[in-house]
């Protein structure tokens, strides 16, 4: 091999890991163990993935996800974390709703619903992953975004929560803060990137956000420094949730006034209320070990399981109700019409 190719190889060799994996649906249920612990039904419906120790009440530390779970819907066999977002609905011209199903990313076609999860030390396109991060600790949890955000200014407080209108499964830009305004042939992808600076002390905070921070200047992508108040750099957790809107793309079924028909399960038709939740549950120090490996996506220290095993892990619903999977429903589960945001 010519020396210049060797040099090129040495330059692109990763210093630390970036991992990307699929997770099937664990359950679609009206629970929220982070924001409404012990409450069933919670105010709105969620789609949840990860370890099967999931319950409406999961007290930090006491509820040890890796030891209480017997399976996980995620590809890494040691990841018993729970990850969730709201669900998406299509609103018909007569005001009834049907839930929009999810599908896996390209390359994860066999998985049932769910989403794709990333842990990154530098931005996705950076093959070197030079930054060093501290993995999350047992009992750690957080959320990002707010279902109360109803304007672009409110949504802009969370810079990395966006939508991609998929022309095909490989579309990755542009991203928008609001729901796409036109039909998206291959679906709507929701992108959620969590903040990357931790206060180093608190596993959670009353609003589930303030123990975390964005960099004090610049961005995660530009490797901006963490603020003194939140000095510990943690992996950037990212979700890609693909809603299969294809069967709802007939313009004749869309609102006559030209607006778009999709609405979050908490009644938001703008998209600005995009939010996601995380409860850490990797076994022992498995996540730190993986993050310290020199690898990009294909990481040897990440033990994986088959898609069939991921799909076979489920939990029963805590709340049994018609969520509009096959019938048209009159009202979003738990959300009166008066709470709808256009």
Ligand X SMILES: *[C@@H]1O[C@H](CO)[C@@H](O)[C@H](O)[C@H]1NC(C)=O
End-to-end CA distance of the chain: 61
Specify whether the backbone of 109 is left (phi greater than 0), alpha (psi in -120 to 50) or beta: alpha
3 state DSSP class of 29: strand
Record the tokens describing residue 139, joined without a space: 């009992």
Q: Nearer Cβ to ligand X, position 92 or 210?
A: 92
Contact between 192 and 84 under an 8 Å Cβ cutoff? The reply is: no
Cβ of residue 262: shortest distance to ligand X, in angstroms?
A: 14
Q: Which is nearer to ligand X, 95 or 218 (CB)?
A: 95
Residue 31 structure tokens: 């629970």
When asked if residue 5 is in the footprint of ligand X (CB under 6 A), the reply is no
Q: How many residues bind ligand X (CB under 6 A)?
A: 5
In sequence order, the 6+-apart residues with CB closer than 8 A to the CB of 43 are: 32, 36, 266, 334, 335
Site for ligand X in 90-149 (CB under 6 A): 92, 94, 96
Using CB under 6 A, which residues numbered 178 to 217 contact ligand X? none
User: Cβ of residue 330: shortest distance to ligand X, in angstroms?
Assistant: 9
Nearer to ligand X, 25 or 245 (CB): 245
Q: Which residues contact 124 (CB under 8 A, 6 or more apart)?
A: 18, 118, 238
Strand ranges for 134-213 from DSSP E: 141-145, 161-166, 175-176, 187-193, 197-198, 212-213
Q: Closest approach of Cβ 251 to ligand X, in Å?
A: 13
Q: Minimal distance in Å, beta carbon 328 to ligand X?
A: 5
Q: Smallest gap, in angstroms, from Cβ of residue 257 to ligand X?
A: 17
Minimum CB distance to ligand X, residue 25 (Å): 24
Q: Which of 320, 328, 337, 342 binds ligand X (CB under 6 A)?
A: 328
Nearer to ligand X, 108 or 248 (CB): 248
In the complex with ligand X, the residue whose CB is nearer, 127 or 328, is 328
Please state the closest distance from residue 98 (CB atom) to ligand X, in A: 8
DSSP 206-259: TTSSTTEE--SSS-TTTTPPPPTTS-EE-PEEEEEEEE--GGG--GGGS-TTS-
- C-beta closer to ligand X: residue 5 or 326: 326
Site string for ligand X, 231-270 (x = CB under 6 A): ----------------------x-----------------
The contact pattern for ligand X, residues 71-100, with x = CB under 6 A and - = no contact, is ---------------------x-x-x----
Query: Measured from the CB of residue 252, what is the shortest distance to ligand X in angstroms?
Result: 9
> In this structure, are strands 232-233 and 236-243 parallel, antiparallel, or unpaired?
unpaired
H/E stretch holding 115: strand 115-120
List contacts with ligand X (CB under 6 A). 92, 94, 96, 253, 328
């Amino acid at each position: 091999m010519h020396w210049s190719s060797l040099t090129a190889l040495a330059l692109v060799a990763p210093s630390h890991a970036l991992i990307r994996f699929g997770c099937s649906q664990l359950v679609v249920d009206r629970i929220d163990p982070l924001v409404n612990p012990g409450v069933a039904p919670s105010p709105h419906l969620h789609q949840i993935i990860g370890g099967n120790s999931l319950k409406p009440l999961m007290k930090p530390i006491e509820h040890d996800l890796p030891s209480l779970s017997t399976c996980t819907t995620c590809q890494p066999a040691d990841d018993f974390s729970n990850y969730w977002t709201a669900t998406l609905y299509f609103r018909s011209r007569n005001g009834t709703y049907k839930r929009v199903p999810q599908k896996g990313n390209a390359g994860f076609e066999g998985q049932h619903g769910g989403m794709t999860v990333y842990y990154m030390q530098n931005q996705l396109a950076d093959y070197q992953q030079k930054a060093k991060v501290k993995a999350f600790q047992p009992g750690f949890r957080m959320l990002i975004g707010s279902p109360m955000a109803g304007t672009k200014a409110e949504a802009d407080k969370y810079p990395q929560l966006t939508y991609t209108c998929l022309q095909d499964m490989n579309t990755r830009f542009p991203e928008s803060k609001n729901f796409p305004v036109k039909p998206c042939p291959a679906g709507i992808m929701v992108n959620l990137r969590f903040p990357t600076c931790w206060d180093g002390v608190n596993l959670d905070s009353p609003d589930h956000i303030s123990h975390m921070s964005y960099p004090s200047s610049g961005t995660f992508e530009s490797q901006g420094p963490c603020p003194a108040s939140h000095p510990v750099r943690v992996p950037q957790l990212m979700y890609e949730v693909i809603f299969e809107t294809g069967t709802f793309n007939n313009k004749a079924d869309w609102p006559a006034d030209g607006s778009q028909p999709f609405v979050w399960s908490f009644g938001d038709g703008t998209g600005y209320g995009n939010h996601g939740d995380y409860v850490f549950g990797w076994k022992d120090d498995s996540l730190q070990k993986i993050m310290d490996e020199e690898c990009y996506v294909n990481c040897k220290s990440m033990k994986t399981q088959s898609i069939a095993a991921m799909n076979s892990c489920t939990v029963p619903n805590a709340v049994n109700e018609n969520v509009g999977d096959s019938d048209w429903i009159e009202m979003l589960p738990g959300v009166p019409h008066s709470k709808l945001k256009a």
